[in-house]
Amino acid sequence: MRQIKSDTTYIFEGNTPYQADSPFMSDSLQGSNDSLVHFKDSSINAENSIKHPKNSVLNQHILQSQTRQPIPRQQLNTDWISGLLILCFVLLAFSKVFYNKRLQQIFLSFLSSRYQHIMQRDGHIFKDRISIPLFLIYTISFSLLIHQSLGHFFPTYEFPVDSSSLFFLIILSVLALEIIKIILILFYGMVFKSYYIRSELIVTNFIFNVGFGILLLPILVIAIYVPSQKILYLGIFLWLFSLGYKALRQVFTRIPDTKFSLFNRFIYLCTFEITPVLVLIKLVMSELR
């Protein structure tokens, strides 16, 4: 048997124990099987592989890499949304301070047609300065609702532009649709030679747009900064309710103009209220698919 000399320690080699050359280890009282003298290195040289592998409970928490290529970090900046919301509240506060009476008339006209006639007797709404900030509030808030809805219902769709550019395109589309709608309503009034269409319906559309935009502001704040599907659905429901309530007001409100019959009202609703919404939804769905 080969011996490896050392000071007072044991040195192992292979599976055979070796005793160092020390006078304390040569006591005759210690047997050859004494564990204090003889050590086996079978545990040291044992295989490290697991003979019976089991699924660890920690494996399911390990991130599985889909690609070995580096992925650049995308920094999403939503400060521009905060700026738009602050702008809307500033415009609303400006209207409240300087045009409080007119603002109350517009909001009451949104609730009842009787207050709308009172408001129109005090002056044409489009000649008042309050119409500009209120229309901006509606345009920004409605565009933000569309922007958030697209991000919620189509989270995996890759838009060709970034988030801020997408909002800019949405707000331009909303403005273009409103201008086209006003032009078509005026043309429709000229065809039927109805003063009611050229005045009452345009004012009614403006009142409902403004009322909807103001009521939408607190919903947008919660939907953006406290992400919740229910709050976003509430904003969409408010938009649908505003459209339905406006249609009922335009159909069942008594009109002094006899040329604008109930049949003409139905044609107007289908042409200017229902059809554009359905066509727009169809175009968006087909484009995103």
Q: Is residue 281 part of a domain?
A: yes
Contact call for residues 8 and 17 (beta carbons, < 8 A): no
Residues 92, 178: one domain?
yes
pLDDT score recorded for residue 162: 78
Q: Is residue 249 part of a domain?
A: yes
pLDDT score recorded for residue 203: 83
**Which amino acid would we find at residue 266?**
F
Residues 231, 89: one domain?
yes
Residues 7, 133: one domain?
no
Asked if pLDDT for residue 2 goes beyond 50, the answer is no
Q: Is residue 209 part of a domain?
A: yes
Among the ranges given (59-73, 108-122, 126-140, 229-243), the one the predictor scored with the smallest mean pLDDT: 59-73
pTM exceeds 0.75 for this model: no
Q: What is the CA radius of gyration of the chain?
A: 39
Burial of 83 (0-12, 13-18, 19+ CB in 10 A): exposed
CA distance 82 to 224: 9
Burial of 125 (0-12, 13-18, 19+ CB in 10 A): buried
Does 271 or 33 have the greater pLDDT score? 271
Contact call for residues 14 and 2 (beta carbons, < 8 A): no
Q: Is residue 70 part of a domain?
A: no
Q: Is residue 68 part of a domain?
A: no
**Which amino acid would we find at residue 125?**
I
Residues 124, 19: one domain?
no
pLDDT score recorded for residue 66: 65
Q: Is residue 241 part of a domain?
A: yes
Residues 97, 15: one domain?
no
Q: How far apart are the first and last CA of the chain?
A: 81
The residues that bridge with 241 in the sheet, in sequence order, are none
Residues 31, 133: one domain?
no
Place of tokens 């042409």: 271
Among the ranges given (102-116, 202-216, 238-252, 263-277), the one the predictor scored with the smallest mean pLDDT: 263-277
Among 75-84, 92-101, 121-130, 262-271, the range of highest mean pLDDT: 92-101
Band the pLDDT of 48: cuts 50, 70, 90: low
pLDDT digits (tens, 9 = 90+) for 19-44: 444 454 545 555 555 555 555 555 55
Q: Which residues contact 45 (CB under 8 A, 6 or more apart)?
A: 15
pLDDT digits (tens, 9 = 90+) for 203-248: 888 888 888 899 999 999 888 888 777 888 888 888 888 888 887 7
**Which amino acid would we find at residue 81?**
I
CA distance 16 to 252: 105
Contact call for residues 230 and 212 (beta carbons, < 8 A): no
Q: Specify the number of domains making up the chain.
A: 2
Residues 28, 154: one domain?
no
Contact call for residues 25 and 32 (beta carbons, < 8 A): no
Residues 178, 257: one domain?
yes
Q: Which domain holds residue 24?
A: 1-44
Residues 101, 208: one domain?
yes
Q: Is residue 52 part of a domain?
A: no
